[in-house]
Every structure is written in structure tokens, then in C-alpha cells.
């Protein structure tokens, strides 16, 4: 018998991990499901008991109760407790889906989450408790929606968005209007037929139908984001559908309020229509202006945060939220306000804040939007189980069919018109994806939920129909879009990072095309873009960006970013000798330097190859020094994340930079040894990026290709000895005439290297970025502002 169990065990263990995970999940779900109703149920008991105790005490105040060592007071914490439970449930579900290997590939997350919501709602109902009104419109619009929209707006790729703005607006405005009227009108017509059997449908009037049409026809950004994120289609299609879902909010708001207002009256006059159009303009442009105002305010505030780096992300979040709330206060489009706020503030804020704040903002936004999205879908499921339903076959099926049909017709018709104005035409495949990707989501449901029961007796039926449409689009379209994309071989997103050559030529092209337009004499959009850029550079950047970065040209900013990223990659790869790059190559700076004729100057020589043994020695020493440095963390208090002297001693650095420039000019003839790509000395970007927990672990980069000396002062514990570097620099320059450009090791002042190309470059990069774990590799927010 022991042998039998023994033989079973190895096979069991292999499967048991995933099974255990599943089991754990199911247990947790059941637990959540049971605690929530328990929570609701137990509170009255406890409060009752408290009342009893209160009554007892005045009468028998000499009877001492036993001191309560352990007491249960759920009522005290029940709201935050329940909120936390929901959030925990959402996050654990997300975790769980990715543990189950094949499921996440087939079924999009949104479907799974709705299913979980259904389950939880079902459990709660089975337990006999009242389902909490989770998808309360206030909760949804004020708490759950803003993080998602802010995340989308902050990381919106500006260039493709602006290039396709006309198309996006056409789809958003005209497309939504068409959908609303088509669905609403035809529904009314359908409801009016069948005169033989008078049914409840006959009572529905035109205006409620139109209202219903406008609610159900808006493409939902949450659903689109959730589904499109997983299918990785090319940028153009993504921005088209996504941009449409964001911008149609203004149309939806106006239509909704218009029809809601006049549903009571029963008729809409021409004046009302005109007012509606004006209202649309006010809502959309007003929303954008409010957002832009708050965006500029944020950018301006971030200019002064150099001493309080810790709360920088807070400004971004709070101002954006205020923008949303302000817009909602005036019934303007809150979504457009948030998008405008995020898009406007981003280039300036990113120029001002520290690298760590940038990472914080990125991760917090992603975290919040992810949790929000998960919660929304789960709540949709729960609300479905709960919600009062009034199922009517005709109404619901006609709605679903009409939604699909109107979407298809709308997209085809609009594309026909749009293609006349576009250079890059939209193909049939593109049109299909745009039409198929028009998903409805929780916004429609919340808007329906907001309807007043008295004014709209058909509210329950509307809600049922909305839920059906949502389920249909999310489940059917969401699940099938991925295989369809594969089947139709739609172009996928290109993962390649932007190279410096592309950046140079993009800028070059911009100027070239502007110049050609000027020669041709007409003011095309390049001309205006150029004007806007110059205005931005001259006035706006000076106001909103602190310090010297306001004058940093875009190309240089891009270059620094790239350098910085490479440096972090280097550190993360463990300080290997070769720069990790996509294409393993042995090309180094030496290969591209033009060889000077041998009779030029006596000082120039070909750099000798370091003998292998020496290299190893150097590497070992450096690595051990680095490790020692890493372990020596300085203590910090709660209010300064890293006492980074380089962010404080910035003025000094600038002075030194000036001195470096002068020195460089003096050593002008020594320009043969480009051992490192000669970046300017410690630009502000690099200073801000200095994340070493140990402030000494930095190196003053040589100004240009003339001085290959890199002072790597890892071991000395004094305060920033930039002055020493200056002296050594001077000393080095004097010595160079006599010495060989070889390795110089001087243990007394740390290590100094006049190293070979890669070695030199990596050392200085190594020392600069020691403690930062670094942003993840998918930095899509690389796009420069108004490129």
C-alpha cells in the first residue's frame, strides 16, 4: 500500500498546482459571496445588541461586565470592508485568469469578468440577500470611469490621433447621430406595427425610442479598450475606433439630455434642434477647454515641484479629476475634458517631473484603470442578475439587429465619403474591423439606469434590451474579433521601437515639407503645424517647463531618452560588456570614425586593444564596487524619497557644464578618440535621472569626444566631488600629451578609465543608474509632443 500511494504522488503533484489554484479561487469566490450578505445581515444584530447594552448599564451600573477581550464590530467598518472585498475579488479574478493557461487566449477578459459577476450576483441572490446596487450611476460616473479615461488620455498617441482627427470626428459625431436616429426611428416604427395585437409596445412614443436609440448607439471606450488591447491591431484602426469611442461622449450627452428633457413635453420643435446643435458645440468645445485649462494649470504647478518630488504624481491625478468634475458640473463632456487635460499636460509635466514620479504616475494610472475596468465588468454581471427585467422578444431582438445593421451601414457610408479626403484610404478590411469593433458597454447601462421610472414606464424593458446588446457585443463580437483579425490577416501593431534615424528624418521631413509649402505659397497644414510648434517653443514651453529643459529641442530630448533607456537596459542585464541591442552587432564607434591621415597630429593614435586579462580584471573590480555601493543605502525620511544631491545641486552642475564647454574648446585638436558617443555633459535629463542611492556613484561625463577619461568614483565616501573631477580633468588634459591612451588605474582616487569604446561607455552608464528598477520596456509614450 505505501508503494501504491508513492507511485501516485509524482503524477499528482504535477497537476496539483493549477488545480490548487483553481480550488483556491473557487473557495475565495464562495467566501466573498457569503461574507457580503453576512455583512449585511449581521450589522443589525450587533447594533441591536449595543442598544440592549446601553439600556442595561444605567439600571445596573454596579454589575460589571467582563472586559471584552475580543469583540466583533462589523458595522463600524462595513462600507470600506465591502469595497475592499470587491476590489480584492476583482484583482484575484484577474490573477486567476492568467493562471489558467488556455482560457485567456480564447476568451477575452471582459467576458470572463462578466461571467464572474453573474456568478457572484447569483450567489448573493441564492443566499437570499439583497444584491447591493453596485452599478449605481453615481459610483460609476464619479469613481469607476475617470481612471480609465485619464489613463487613455494621458497615454494617447497624439500624432496618429491628430492625423486622423477628421476621420475620427466624422465617425464619432455623424456616425453616432446616424445610429441614434436610425435605431430609434426604426424601433418606433416596429413598435407601431402589429395593430391587431395591442401590446405594451404601442405605448412607447417616438421620443423615448429616440432616447433609447441614443443611449444604445454609443460605442463604449471601456469595452473597446478591454477587447482591442488583446488583439494588437495596427495603430490606425486602434486609434480610429478608440478615438471614436472617446469623442462620441459629447454627442451622447447632448442627445440624452435633449430627449430626456423633451420626452415629457412629447414634441421637439425646430428651435430645440437648433439649440441642440449649439449645445453640442458648447458641450464638446467647453469640455476640451476646461480640460486644457486644468492641464496647463498642472503643467505650471509641476514647474515648481523640484523640492517636493514625492507629491508630484498627486498633482497630476487631482487636477485631472477636478477637470472631470468641473466639466460634469456644467453638464459638459467630462470625458473630453479628461482627455484634453491628459494630452495637454503630458509633454510639459514629463519635462518637469523626476523619473520616479513619471514611473509612479504611469503605474498608478495603469493600476487604477485596470481595477476599474475589472470592477465595471463584474458589476455589470451582478447588476444583470439583480436588475428588474422585463423581457420582450420583439423589442430586444429588433434592437440587437438594428444596432448591428445601423453600425455597418454607417461605417460603409461614412468611409465612402471620408476616403475622398484621405491619402491613406480605408480598405474594406479596415471598415469591417471598425464596424465590428463598435462595442457597447457599461456607459450605456448606466445611462439607462439613470432614467426616471415615472417619465419612462418602459425603463425596465429598455434596461433589459441594453443589457442584451451589451452582452451580445461583448461576448459574441469580443470573442470572435480575435480569430477574425487573424483570418482576415489585418495588419498588426508593429512592435519596433522608434530609432534615432527615424526621429531625425521625421523632423527633417517636417521642416522640408513646411519649406516646400512656403515655396508653393499656400498655407497647408504643415505650415500651421510649424507655426504652432514655434509658438509652443517660444512662449508656452518657457512658462511651463522649469529650468533649462524649456529650451531643449525635441530631437535632443528624444536622444537623451534613448540613451537613458539603453543605460537602464545595461544595468538590468547585469552590466555585461556588450550593450544589449536588438541586433547583436560588433560595430562600435571605432568603425565609423573617419581615419585621419597619419601625418595629422602627433597626439592621435589608434586605440590599442586591451589585453583580455586586463579587461577581466577591470570588470571584476567594477562589479564588486558596484555591489558594495548598492548595499550602502542611505537612510531617508518619509518625505524625501532619495536625497538626490543632483536634483538639488543643479545650479552647480550648470556652472560646471559651462566650464567643461570652455575646456573642451581648448582641447580642440584631440578629437579622434570617440570612445564614447559624445553626449553633452550631464544634461538636465541625466541629472534628474540620477537615481543612485549613493550620490557618489556618478560619473561626470566628458564633454565631448576629446576626453575619454571617465572618473568613476565608487568607493570614496565623501560628498559629491565634482570639484575633484574638474581638477582631474585638467590634469588629464595636461598629461595626455605624454601618455599613452591606455588604461590608468589609480587606486587612491578610485578607478579611472580611459577605456575602449564599449567599456568606457558602459561604465559611466552603469554608475549612473543604480537603484532604479526602470520602467518597463513598452514605453509607448515615446511620442514627442506635436511631432
Partner 1 sequence: MGASQTRTVHKYQDLADKTGFSLEQIKNLYQRFQHLSGNEETISRDNLESIPALANNPIRKQIIAAFFDKRNQHQDEVGSCNEIGFEQFLMVMSHFRPPNAKTTEEEKEAMRKEKLRFLFNMHDTNNDGTITLVEYRKVVEELLSNSGDIGQEAAKAIADAAMLEVASTNVPHMGPEDFYAGITFEHFEQILEGLEMESRMHIRFLDVNTATMRCGKSQS
List the interface residues with partner 1, window 270-299 (CB under 8 A): none
Interface with partner 1, residue 400, by CB under 8 A: no
- Would you say 693 or 764 has its CB closer to partner 1? 764
Task: Report residue 728 as a C-alpha cell.
Answer: 582631474
CA distance 92 to 434: 33
Task: By CB under 8 A, tell whether 495 contacts partner 1.
Answer: no
**204: nearest Cα among 213, 271, 182:** 213
CB of 524 to partner 1, least distance (A): 6
**Residue 157 CB, nearest distance to partner 1 (Å)?**
15
Per rule CB under 8 A, is residue 483 in the interface with partner 1?
no
166-174, 255-263, 380-388, 549-557 -> range binding partner 1 (CB under 8 A):
549-557
Cβ nearer to partner 1, comparing 17 with 520: 520
Q: Give 8 or 422: the residue with its C-beta nearer to partner 1.
A: 422
Question: Which window, 31-39, 272-280, 523-531, 644-652, contacts partner 1 (CB under 8 A)?
Answer: 523-531
Span interacting with partner 1, options 453-461, 510-518, 712-720, 766-774, rule CB under 8 A: 510-518
Cα 365 to Cα 378: distance, rounded to the nearest angstrom:
20
Element (H, E) at 314: helix 312-329
Closest separation in Å from C-beta 782 to partner 1: 13
Measured CA distances, 184 to 16, 188, 194, 372, 455 (Å): 54, 6, 18, 31, 17
Smaller CB distance to partner 1: residue 593 or 724?
593
Residues that bind partner 1 (rule: CB under 8 A) add up to a total of 68
Q: What is the smallest separation between the CB atom of 787 and partner 1, expressed in angstroms?
A: 12
The 8 Å CB, 24+ separation contacts for 466-469 are: 466/215, 466/216, 466/440, 467/380, 467/384, 467/387, 468/396, 468/399, 468/400, 469/216, 469/399, 469/400, 469/403, 469/440, 469/444
Give whichever of 272 and 518 is closer to partner 1, judged by the CB atom.
Answer: 518
- Closest to partner 1 by CB, 8 or 531: 531
Tell which one of 507, 536, 733, 771 touches partner 1 (CB under 8 A): 507
Cβ 585 to partner 1 shortest distance, Å: 4
In the bound complex, what is the minimum distance in angstroms from residue 558's beta carbon to partner 1?
Answer: 9
Judged by CB under 8 A, does residue 367 bind partner 1?
no
Task: Say if CB 330 and CB 286 are below 8 A apart.
Answer: yes
Q: Which stretch binds partner 1 (CB under 8 A): 264-272, 495-503, 688-696, 776-784?
A: 495-503
Site for partner 1 in 599-618 (CB under 8 A): 609
Q: Are 202 and 191 in contact (CB under 8 A)?
A: yes
Q: Is 782 in the site for partner 1 (CB under 8 A)?
A: no
Report the residue from 30, 31, 273, 512 that binds partner 1 according to the rule CB under 8 A: 512
Written as nine digits, the cell of 282 is 458648447
Measure Cα distances from 636 to 639, 641, 734 in Å: 8, 7, 41
Q: Which of 66, 270, 487, 583 binds partner 1 (CB under 8 A)?
A: 583
Select from 174, 314, 556, 786 the one that contacts partner 1 (CB under 8 A).
556
Looking at residues 681 to 720 of the shown chain, list those that interact with partner 1 (rule: CB under 8 A).
683, 703-705
List, as one string, the DSSP characters of 315-377.
Answer: HHHHHHHHHHHHHHHTT--HHHHHHHHHHHHHHHHHHHS-HHHHHHHHHHHHHHHHHHHHHHH
> Could you tell me the three cell numbers for 180?
441614434
**In 3-state terms, what secondary structure has residue 751?**
strand
Contact between 680 and partner 1 by CB under 8 A: the answer reads yes
Does an H or E element contain 712, and which?
strand 710-712
Q: Identify which range of 43-51, 272-280, 548-556, 708-716 contacts partner 1 by CB under 8 A.
A: 548-556
Any contact of residue 489 with partner 1 (CB under 8 A)?
Answer: no
When asked if residue 200 is in the footprint of partner 1 (CB under 8 A), the reply is no
Q: Do the Cβ atoms of 437 and 365 come closer than 8 Å?
A: no
Output 679 or 754, the one with its CB closest to partner 1: 679
Q: In a 3-state reduction of DSSP, which class is residue 782?
A: coil
Q: Kindly indicate which of the ranges 13-21, 81-89, 329-337, 553-561 contains the residues binding partner 1, using the contact rule CB under 8 A.
A: 553-561
Closest distance of CB 349 from partner 1, Å: 21
Residue in 620, 643, 168 with CA at minimum distance from that of residue 426: 168
Dihedral through CA 524, CA 525, CA 527, CA 529, nearest 10? 170
- Binding residues for partner 1 restricted to 402-441, rule: CB under 8 A: 419, 423-425
Q: How far is CA 429 from CA 170, 199, 221, 484, in A?
A: 19, 42, 22, 10
Q: Are 147 and 321 in contact (CB under 8 A)?
A: no
750 contacts 716 by C-beta, under 8 angstroms: yes
Contact 133, 86 (CB under 8 A): no
Of 157 and 276, the one with the shorter C-beta distance to partner 1 is 157
* Given 305, 477, 514, 741, the residue binding partner 1 (CB under 8 A): 514
Stretch that binds partner 1, among 164-172, 593-601, 639-647, 744-752 (CB under 8 A): 593-601
Count of alpha carbons within 13 angstroms of residue 742, beta-carbon side? 10
Q: What are phi and psi of 649, to 5 degrees?
A: -85, 40
Residue 102 CA to residue 114 CA, distance in Å, equals 18
Between residues 483 and 524, which has the closer beta carbon with respect to partner 1?
524
Q: Is 44 in the site for partner 1 (CB under 8 A)?
A: no
Q: Is 580 in the site for partner 1 (CB under 8 A)?
A: no
189 binds partner 1 (CB under 8 A): no
Closest contact distance (angstroms) between CB of 413 and partner 1 is: 18
Applying CB under 8 A, which residues contact partner 1? Answer: 419, 423-425, 494, 496, 499-502, 504-509, 511-524, 526-527, 530, 534, 548, 551-553, 555-556, 559, 562-563, 581, 583-595, 609, 661, 674, 677-680, 683, 703-705
Amino acid at each position: 500500500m505505501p508503494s501504491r500511494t508513492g507511485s501516485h504522488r509524482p503524477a499528482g503533484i504535477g497537476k496539483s498546482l493549477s488545480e490548487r489554484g483553481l480550488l483556491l479561487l473557487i473557495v475565495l469566490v464562495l467566501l466573498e459571496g457569503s461574507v457580503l450578505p453576512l455583512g449585511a445581515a449581521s450589522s443589525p444584530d450587533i447594533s441591536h445588541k449595543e442598544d440592549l447594552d446601553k439600556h442595561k448599564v444605567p439600571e445596573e451600573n454596579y454589575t460589571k461586565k467582563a472586559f471584552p477581550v475580543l469583540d466583533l464590530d462589523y458595522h463600524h467598518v462595513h462600507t470600506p470592508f465591502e469595497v475592499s472585498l470587491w476590489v480584492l475579488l476583482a484583482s484575484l479574478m484577474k490573477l486567476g485568469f492568467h493562471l489558467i493557461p488556455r482560457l485567456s487566449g480564447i476568451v477575452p477578459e471582459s467576458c470572463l469578468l462578466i461571467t464572474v459577476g453573474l456568478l457572484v450576483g447569483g450567489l448573493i441572490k441564492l443566499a437570499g440577500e439583497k444584491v447591493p446596487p453596485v452599478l449605481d450611476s453615481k459610483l460609476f460616473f464619479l469613481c469607476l470611469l475617470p481612471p480609465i479615461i485619464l489613463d487613455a488620455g494621458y497615454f494617447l498617441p497624439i500624432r496618429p490621433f491628430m492625423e486622423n482627427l477628421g476621420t475620427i470626428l466624422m465617425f464619432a459625431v455623424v456616425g453616432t447621430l446616424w445610429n441614434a436616429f436610425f435605431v430609434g426611428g426604426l424601433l418606433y416604427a416596429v413598435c407601431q406595427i402589429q395593430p391587431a395585437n395591442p401590446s405594451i409596445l404601442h405605448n412607447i412614443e417616438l421620443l423615448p425610442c429616440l432616447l433609447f436609440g441614443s443611449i444604445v448607439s454609443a460605442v463604449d471606450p471601456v469595452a473597446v479598450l478591454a477587447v482591442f488591447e488583446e488583439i494588437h491591431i495596427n495603430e490606425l484602426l486602434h486609434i480610429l475606433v478608440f478615438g471614436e469611442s472617446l469623442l462620441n461622449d459629447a454627442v451622447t450627452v447632448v442627445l440624452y439630455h435633449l430627449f430626456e428633457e423633451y420626452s415629457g413635453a412629447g414634441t421637439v420643435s425646430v428651435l430645440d434642434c437648433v439649440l441642440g446643435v449649439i449645445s453640442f458645440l458648447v458641450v464638446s468645445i467647453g469640455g476640451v477647454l476646461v480640460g486644457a485649462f486644468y492641464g496647463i494649470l498642472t503643467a505650471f504647478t509641476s514647474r515648481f515641484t523640484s523640492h517636493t518630488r514625492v507629491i508630484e504624481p498627486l498633482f497630476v491625478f487631482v487636477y485631472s479629476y477636478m477637470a472631470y468634475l468641473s466639466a460634469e458640473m456644467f453638464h459638459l463632456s467630462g470625458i473630453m475634458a479628461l482627455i484634453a487635460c491628459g494630452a495637454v499636460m503630458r509633454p510639459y509635466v514629463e519635462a518637469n517631473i523626476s523619473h520616479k514620479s513619471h514611473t509612479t504616475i504611469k503605474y498608478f494610472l495603469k493600476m487604477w484603470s485596470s481595477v476599474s475596468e475589472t470592477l465595471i465588468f463584474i458589476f455589470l454581471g451582478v447588476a444583470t442578475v439583480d436588475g428588474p427585467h422585463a423581457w420582450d422578444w420583439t423589442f430586444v431582438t429588433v434592437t440587437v439587429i438594428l444596432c448591428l445593421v445601423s453600425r455597418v451601414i454607417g461605417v460603409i457610408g461614412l468611409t465612402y465619403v471620408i476616403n475622398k479626403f484621405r491619402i491613406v484610404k480605408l480598405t474594406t478590411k479596415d471598415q469591417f474591423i471598425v464596424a465590428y469593433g463598435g462595442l457597447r458597454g457599461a456607459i450605456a447601462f448606466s445611462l439607462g439606469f439613470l432614467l426616471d421610472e415615472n417619465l419612462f414606464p418602459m425603463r425596465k424593458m429598455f434596461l433589459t434590451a441594453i443589457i442584451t446588446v451589451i452582452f451580445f457585443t461583448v461576448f459574441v463580437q469580443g470573442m470572435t474579433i480575435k480569430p477574425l483579425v487573424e483570418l482576415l490577416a489585418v495588419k498588426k501593431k508593429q512592435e519596433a521601437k522608434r530609432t534615432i534615424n527615424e526621429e531625425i528624418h521625421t523632423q527633417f521631413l517636417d521642416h522640408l515639407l513646411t519649406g516646400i509649402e512656403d515655396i508653393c505659397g499656400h498655407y497647408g497644414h504643415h505650415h500651421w503645424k510649424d507655426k504652432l510648434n514655434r509658438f509652443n517653443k517660444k512662449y508656452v514651453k518657457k512658462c511651463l517647463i522649469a529650468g533649462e529643459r524649456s529650451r531643449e529641442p525635441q530631437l535632443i530630448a528624444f536622444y537623451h531618452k534613448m540613451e537613458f533607456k539603453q543605460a537602464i537596459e545595461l544595468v538590468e542585464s547585469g552590466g555585461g560588456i556588450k550593450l544589449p541591442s536588438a541586433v547583436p552587432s560588433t560595430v562600435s564607434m571605432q568603425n565609423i570614425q573617419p581615419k585621419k591621415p597619419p601625418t595629422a597630429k602627433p597626439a592621435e593614435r589608434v586605440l590599442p586593444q586591451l589585453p583580455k586579462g586586463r579587461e577581466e580584471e577591470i570588470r571584476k573590480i567594477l562589479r564588486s564596487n558596484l555591489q558594495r555601493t548598492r548595499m550602502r543605502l542611505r537612510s531617508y525620511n518619509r518625505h524625501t524619497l532619495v536625497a538626490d544631491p543632483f536634483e538639488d545641486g543643479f545650479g552647480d552642475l550648470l556652472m560646471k557644464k559651462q566650464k567643461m564647454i570652455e575646456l573642451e574648446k581648448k582641447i580642440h585638436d584631440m578629437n579622434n578618440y570617440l570612445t564614447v558617443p559624445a553626449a553633452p555633459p550631464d544634461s538636465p535629463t541625466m541629472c534628474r535621472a540620477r537615481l543612485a542611492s549613493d550620490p557618489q556613484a556618478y560619473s561626470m561625463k566628458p564633454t565631448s569626444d576629446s576626453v575619454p577619461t571617465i572618473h568613476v568614483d565608487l568607493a570614496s565616501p565623501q560628498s559629491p566631488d565634482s570639484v575633484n573631477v574638474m581638477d582631474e580633468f585638467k590634469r588629464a588634459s595636461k598629461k595626455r600629451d605624454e601618455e599613452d591612451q591606455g588604461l590608468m588605474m589609480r587606486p587612491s582616487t578610485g578607478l579611472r578609465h580611459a577605456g575602449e569604446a564599449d567599456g568606457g561607455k558602459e561604465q559611466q552608464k552603469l554608475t549612473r543608474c543604480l537603484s532604479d528598477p526602470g520602467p518597463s520596456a513598452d514605453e509607448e509614450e515615446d511620442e514627442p509632443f506635436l511631432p
